Chains A and B, each alone.
Chain A
Amino acid sequence: MKIAKKIPGRNREALRGLLESMVEKGAAESLFAAAANKRGDSFSYFLMKRGSLPDTLEPLPPIMSRSAAGMLTYLTRKGPLPGKTLVVLRPCELRAVTELRKLNQIHADNLVTVSFDCPGVFPLKDFFKGKAAVLIEQHEKALSDGTLAGARNVCAICAEFTGEGADIELGFLGVPEGECWAVANTEAGAQCLGLVEGEDVGDLSSRDEAVQAAKERRAVERKQRLLAFQQEVGGPENIAKVLENCLNCHNCMRVCPICFCQECYFESSAFRAEADRFLARAGRKKGLSMPADTLLFHLGRMSHMSVSCVSCGACEDACPADVPVSLFFSLVGRSTQGIFDYVPGRDVSEPVPYLHYEREEFQEMEAPYLEKRGQD
């Protein structure tokens, strides 16, 4: 039986209150969530302990400085956290966590996940250029509306914006003004949520309807946007155009939660060569732009991680050259995930496509052989 409770307060206030009260009542020893940094105009993820949750706690920041999934890899790659920890994640971060669990990069024991209806976030650079207080207020409004003007490319077309895979899911959409609904999706979630006071939500249908309608709308927008982007980037010349500003700095890879390799192939000795070989390449390619292998880096990374790409947009936020990396990877991810009928983050028991196979599949990818010719 699903537990669903009404949590009083405006959106971010409600979530903060819920977290504080769950931790206080002993649901967890520690809390992993975003909080404001020292100056108050930027946010990071923090690991906080019961009894001293800081006033700066801001579990719904209007930006995503880094993917929380990457931070959880940082925390738990070598083993599970020793105490029970409440973990607040955006839906895309939650999906990345699921992927990283499959890839043995996150130990999820002791983690209780909390997620929410996410309206998206502002691009990092836009937020840093703008007025923090104004943007935070806009973001607060967007939590109820579900639409954030000026959101990042991938946020604007995100159709998987609810926390349905989390132990505890917070609903802002289709919920009466001045409260939000906390729904426990699992036994672990129910145990934690059971500790806090709150009137039961009898009928969840108003939220379900609002979410369903928004999802359908977003799915259409996503498809249209990605197809339009495909028109824009398709073909060799257009791809060169899209990547013309790329510095080949690999920062997209470094902040990508899915790109977990400690030693990236694209930074390996496979790219070392004698000077004369570079010169030979320069002749062949009518001039070798340095650092070389920009397109190879992106294509290669697509082949390595696009099946698990959760469209979180961290890559684009970290791009110093404003390359639309996240759309690029969302577009390709849509195709590669499509052929494997795979949705990254859907289910932790679903194997990652590259670590799995069927004996009879993809025959259409083989070139059919018709023995037609005689011996030469």
Chain B
Amino acid sequence: MKEESKEFTPNILYALCSWCGSGGSETAGAMKLHYPENVKPVRFYCTGGIDPVYIFRALLEGADGVVVSGCHPGDCHFDTGNYRARRRIAAVKTILNTLGLDGDRVWLRWVGHGEGKRFVDTASEFDEHIQEKGPSPLKGIRGV
């Protein structure tokens, strides 16, 4: 379980596709595995449907980090949506890094339907990763 006395509890968005990503979270539930409560899952039909703007918008409006999970390559419910997602996330990270906005606040990791442990591990690991980084400066920029 998480420590109670943490100074900073990050606000984390976990974008999951409806098939494998969400499936992983369901398996985790069936296995009674826990993940940090500050990690908030959001379901998308397919990771290929995640427009980069959604990620930017989350980061600007209050998320300290965004992690995306969908089907492993080759397993996409729509055949190729995850490949498209990977290209878009590559672009998101590149844009953030180019502008000194820290692309490492965005993670992509595939999680299969049966991978409950991988799902909670990813949530916890990303939570710790963002805790180390501290609050995202992006959400605090005034005037833009």
A, B assembled together: yes
- Residues of B in contact with A, size category: 35 or more
Write the nearest CB–CB distance from B88 to chain A, whole angstroms: 7
Assuming the contacts A240-B144, A339-B94, A357-B80, asked whether A299 and B56 have C-beta atoms less than 8 A apart, the reply is yes
Among B15-23, B37-45, B135-143, the stretch in contact with A: B135-143
Interface contact A239-B101, CB-CB below 8 Å: yes
Q: Mark A323-341, 1 if CB is under 8 A from B, else 0.
A: 0000000011011101110
Q: Mark B112-144, 1 if CB is under 8 A from A, else 0.
A: 000001101110111000000000011111111
Tell yes or no: A236 within 8 A of B by CB: yes
- Please provide the chain B residues from 93 to 118 with a CB less than 8 Å away from any CB of chain A in the complex: 93-95, 97-101, 107-110, 117-118
Q: Which of A307, A354, A359, A367 has the most CB of B within 10 A?
A: A367
Among A75-83, A186-194, A211-219, A282-290, the stretch in contact with B: A282-290
Tell yes or no: B86 within 8 A of A by CB: yes
Across the interface, B108 reaches (CB within 8 A) one of A246, A265, A365, namely A365
- Please provide the chain B residues from 22 to 54 with a CB less than 8 Å away from any CB of chain A in the complex: 33-34, 51-53
Write the nearest CB–CB distance from A118 to chain B, whole angstroms: 27
Interface contact A336-B91, CB-CB below 8 Å: yes
Write the nearest CB–CB distance from B91 to chain A, whole angstroms: 5
Interface contact B61-A281, CB-CB below 8 Å: yes
Interface contact A331-B93, CB-CB below 8 Å: no
Assuming the contacts A240-B144, A281-B61, A353-B87, asked whether A369 and B122 have C-beta atoms less than 8 A apart, the reply is yes
* CA distance in complex: A90, B75 (Å): 45
- The total of Cβ contacts below 8 Å across the A-B interface reads 151
Assuming the contacts A243-B144, A367-B109, asked whether A354 and B87 have C-beta atoms less than 8 A apart, the reply is yes
* Residues on the A chain within 8 Å of B139, using CB: 284-285
Interface contact A240-B141, CB-CB below 8 Å: yes
- Residues of A in contact with B, size category: 35 or more
Interface contact B95-A302, CB-CB below 8 Å: yes
| Closest A residue by C-beta to B98 | A335
* Residues on the A chain within 8 Å of B89, using CB: 365
Assuming the contacts A265-B51, A359-B73, A373-B121, asked whether A332 and B95 have C-beta atoms less than 8 A apart, the reply is yes
* Residues on the B chain within 8 Å of A340, using CB: 87
Write the nearest CB–CB distance from A81 to chain B, whole angstroms: 34
Across the interface, A357 reaches (CB within 8 A) one of B33, B56, B87, B144, namely B87
Interface contact B52-A244, CB-CB below 8 Å: no
Across the interface, B141 reaches (CB within 8 A) one of A295, A353, A362, namely A295
* CA distance in complex: A353, B99 (Å): 21
Across the interface, B91 reaches (CB within 8 A) one of A265, A295, A339, A376, namely A339
* CA distance in complex: A230, B51 (Å): 25
Across the interface, A336 reaches (CB within 8 A) one of B84, B94, B125, B142, namely B94
Write the nearest CB–CB distance from B131 to chain A, whole angstroms: 16
Interface contact B107-A236, CB-CB below 8 Å: no
Tell yes or no: A294 within 8 A of B by CB: yes
Interface contact B121-A369, CB-CB below 8 Å: yes
Interface contact A366-B108, CB-CB below 8 Å: yes
| Closest B residue by C-beta to A284 | B62
* Residues on the B chain within 8 Å of A40, using CB: none
Interface contact A365-B97, CB-CB below 8 Å: no
* CA distance in complex: A356, B61 (Å): 30
* Residues on the B chain within 8 Å of A295, using CB: 60, 141, 144
Interface contact A335-B87, CB-CB below 8 Å: no
Assuming the contacts A235-B101, A365-B93, asked whether A354 and B143 have C-beta atoms less than 8 A apart, the reply is no
* Residues on the B chain within 8 Å of A356, using CB: 87
Across the interface, B53 reaches (CB within 8 A) one of A230, A236, A296, A360, namely A296
* CA distance in complex: A14, B125 (Å): 66
Interface contact B99-A239, CB-CB below 8 Å: yes
Write the nearest CB–CB distance from A108 to chain B, whole angstroms: 26
Interface contact B144-A239, CB-CB below 8 Å: yes
* CA distance in complex: A40, B40 (Å): 61
Assuming the contacts A303-B52, A339-B90, A354-B87, asked whether A236 and B101 have C-beta atoms less than 8 A apart, the reply is yes
6 more contacts with CB within 8 A, not counting A304-B53, A335-B98, A362-B87, are A286-B140, A302-B95, A303-B56, A339-B91, A357-B83, A376-B124
